[in-house]
Amino acid sequence: MKKTIAVLGGGCWGITLACHLYYKGNNLALWEYDKEKAKILDRKRKLSFLPHLRIPKDIFISSDLNEILAGKNIIVFAIPTIYFRSTAQKVAQILNYPGSTDSLEMLISGTKGLENNTFQRMSGILEEELPKKLHQKIVVLSGPSHAEEVSKGIPTAVTIAGRNKKTTLLAQKLFFTPTFRVYTNSDLAGVELAGAIKNIYAIACGVSDGLGLGDNTKSALVTRSLAEMIRLGRKLGAEVSTFYGLAGIGDLMVTCFSHWSRNRNFGEKIGQGKTVQQALKEIKMTVEGMETTKATYFLARKMKIELPIVNEVYSLIYKNKKPQEAMTNLLMRKPRSEFS
């Protein structure tokens, strides 16, 4: 059955998801918060970062959130972490009107990150800001899925997680195609946590690349990164098995090794000796790992969890530590058992 869907976020991922769902036969509306950018996007029907993808004329594009949300069955959030709560608050104001949620079947987060100060996951922000009757309709989409490849129809596998089995299965059906395989998972905390913090480790791997270190070094970094992810996940109530799946090791690998990965690319520029601001200027896109590094660093300190790689990435970004010094610090740590 055809759905009416609002995708919030006019970046690479939001546009990719909007086009993906449109070509499955749904009615789509795309929200870009910047009025001028929305006008340009509506006129050109293209984004410079996805030159091969043309946005169908039938996808309605606007910066007017009231217009975008009117009568929608499904809302997809593809907003940078730093703007996620403010966007959820705007959505909540609109949904507070009588009858505005009657047709709403699902709210989907496609954002991977942790909020600074609160350390909250995106589904948690939605639960805090939206009416309680909608909480069972919240699901998250995660896994190894670069927009540059999904938008070309390159085979991809992802995970949909939610607390309500019926809603999760509906979301699986909504996204599933022969080239976009969707698995379900009930571990909402694990899926979101893995999807967020792997960006930190992608920065670390990028630094290794920028320093010109080899495959051995990068393999060690990825393996120890997974150990840190599991260590944090256990403390936060996530299931260990999730970190061995698509949302965990799957997303970690693609983000640490892919030339599409903006987090890896950012780290590589830092490793080459560029400043944070120089690296960001060259990337020209949101580097989610920066905000997540800060949130995870302070969360780990608060909970007294040892995350050496996170600590070094934090020092690189926020304390101007030299890349070679950070790498040396990791290598000179006291020897220990691999699985202790």
Q: Which active-site residues does the annotation give?
A: 198
State the amino acid at position 173 in one-letter form: K
Mention every residue, 6+ apart, whose C-beta is less than 8 A from residue 160: 139, 140, 141, 168, 171, 172, 175, 182, 183, 184, 185
Secondary structure element (H or E) that encloses residue 181, with its range: strand 180-185
Q: Which of 146, 134, 144 is nearest to 17 (CA)?
A: 146
SS (H, E, C) 308-327: HHHHHHHHHHHCCCCHHHHH
Sheet containing 156-162, strands listed edge to edge, beginning at the edge strand earlier in sequence = 60-62, 27-31, 4-8, 74-77, 106-109, 138-142, 156-162, 180-185
**Residue corresponding to tokens 């919030």:** 8
φ/ψ region of 178 (left if φ > 0, alpha if ψ in -120 to 50, else beta) reads alpha
